Structure formats: structure tokens, C-alpha cells
Amino acid sequence: MMKMLATDNNSPVIQLPLSKLDLRLKRLRSASKPGIEEMKLSFENYGQITPVIVVAEGPVYILVDGFKRYMAAELLKMNGLSTMVLDCDRAIGKAHMYLLNKSSDFNFIEECLLVLELVEKEGFNQVEVASILGKHKSWVNRRLQIIRSLSEQVIEDIKLGLLPGGSAASLARLPCETQADFDRLIQSYNLKPQECNRLIDLWCKADDVNTKEFLMKLPKKALEIYRVAGKGGVDVDSDSQYEKLPRRTRIWFTLLESLGRVARSLGKHSQKWLNVSDEKIHGDFCKKLEEVEDDCQQAFSEARKALSGSGSPISANVKVNENVNVSVSEKKIGMDESAII
């Protein structure tokens, strides 16, 4: 039976110089600069409030909790820290890294790293890890699969806060060589976790190279097209002049704006992208163009009727260009915006 002890009043508290604290487990935690600065300020104002936690391995004291406190103390050139010594071995001490912080700041990538450490370095099986951490085996298994699928660079960038932690599971779906491309893309476009997850999901489901290239080259545009299609919800305009309108009305206006952007893009790129010599394909394109034009005209007609009946004083002055041609299927052209939806 493994010995499992939580910190309590019986654990001895001693004063240890910083040089006596072993930082080998620091690689399992993420300490941001703002977090360290906040801890430094707390030390300056109140001193050390809670002790750091260590496990003793012979004459060595391995730090398992209190890495921000250690780094803040180092910045302040403090001589030492108040330290609580756990009565357990190193392996169980690693588990305490999670047990002492699970309700506060132990993030997903840290959970993954700890599970991997307990399985591969300490020799526990997944059932034992689940028991130690108070979790179900599926919780352990999922984190183990994800961390084993991520490249070292992606893991490091998530730890440093360069990538959103919520993107880890989605990035793990990608081949390692593609993860590096998405790593750069996410940082370049400052994508949020939900945007990362959606973009990667679209990339994984894309069945042709051109669509995948489009997603990588124009991620924001790809995500906008997906939203406009109504899959996953359309972004509601947050401008103060619309905030009192019903949600569906704001969504309608967002769709109209997006339609205009797509129409302008189609007009701008048609001359460059359309190069069709095959007579049958040319006929198919013309037919599709006429169909979409009819759809647009019908939509504009319905929109006018709705506005005319809304009682709005501006409804009589609303004009929508019936001659706008929207969204010829770019999948057949070779730059597929429609395929991602």
C-alpha cells in the first residue's frame, strides 16, 4: 500500500537557505513573470505567509510546492524560506504538486506533464495514478495521450504562455510537423482557444490540400466564413448602437455585413482565379453563378419586405444591390472557402 500523506500540522516546518532547495521538479510547473512579480510584491508587503513544501531525499530537499515563492525570494535576495517537510517519498511528493494546487492554479498542461512523469519516471500504472490523484482512469488516460502526442516545442510554448493552454488537446490531433506550423500561426494571429480549436478541427476534416492551405494562409477569414454559415454561432455585433436590439436582429445585420465582404472578395479575385478552358466546366460555373444570383435576389427581396414591415422610419430608404454575385463554389476553382463549412 502506497503511503499517501497530505500536509498537516504534524509536518515539521524549518528554515532553509535557498541554496538547499532542489529545483529538479520546476520543469513540471509554469511560473509566469506577472505571477512572480505579484508574489515579490506580496513578500515586500507582508513577508512569507505560507511555507514552501519539500520532500526530503537524504540530505536533499526537493521542492514540490512554492516555485513562485522561491523565485520571488531569489529576486529579493532573501537568505532562506520557511519550509514544510512532507513525510513521503519523491514519487508521492510529485503527486502533492497537484493535490496542493488542484483548486487554484494547476493548469491542464501541468496535469499532463505530471501524469507522464508518474507513469514513465516513477513506474506507476494508469490505475495507480488515478487513485493517487483522486481521479478516474479515463482522466489519466486522456492526459497521457495528449502529452505524448504534443511536440516539445508546443509544450514549452504553452508553459510559457505563448500558446493558449486550451489549445493543447486540439494541437495533439495534428502530426508533429504540422504542430510547428500551427504554433507559429496561432501566435502570429493571436488566436483565442476557441478559435484554435475550431481552426484545427476544420483542418483535420478538410479532405484536400487546397482547403488546408487556405485555412493556414487566411485563418481569420476561414473562421469568419464558418461563423457566417451558422455552424457554431455567428458573432454578435458588440457596438453600443446595436446592443439594445434583439439578438436575432444583430445576427441578421452581421450576416448582411459578411455577405458584402464575401461579395467584394468574389469581385476582386474573379479575374485572377477564374481560368476555365473546359466548355462543360465553364457551363457549370455559369449555371452556378446564375443560381447564386437568384438566391441573393430572393434573399434581398425577403429582407426588403421584412424591413418595410418593421415600422422603421429608415426602411423606405434601404437599398441593397441586387446585382451582387456571391460565393461561386471556390472548391472547383482551387481555393475553397466553401469547403470549410
Helices 108-116, 137-149: inter-axial angle, 10-degree rounding: 90
Cα separation, 166 vs 6, in Å, equals 29
Q: How far apart are CA 273 and CA 292, in angstroms?
A: 18
Worst-scoring range by mean pLDDT, 107-111, 250-254, 315-319? 315-319
Contact 308, 316 (CB under 8 A): yes
pLDDT level of residue 272 (50, 70, 90 thresholds): confident
- List % helix, strand, coil for the chain (3-state, nearest 5): 60, 10, 35
Residue 56: phi and psi, rounded to 5, are -95, 130
pLDDT band at 218 (very low <50, low <70, confident <90, very high): very high
**Strand 52-57 and strand 80-86: pairing?**
parallel
User: What is the predicted pLDDT for the residue at 19?
Assistant: 95
Residue 89 corresponds to which amino acid?
A: D
| Cα–Cα distance, 158 to 141 (Å, whole number) | 20
Each residue of 200-213: pLDDT tens digit? 999 998 888 988 99
- The pTM of this model reads 0.64
pLDDT tens, residue by residue, 276-293: 788 888 888 888 888 898
The answer to whether residue 337 scores a pLDDT higher than 70 is no
Q: Which domains, from first to last, does the chain contain?
A: 13-106 (3.90.1530.10), 236-310+320-340 (no CATH)
Higher-pLDDT residue of 46, 250: 46
Identify whether the C-beta of residue 327 lies closer than 8 Å to the C-beta of residue 266: yes
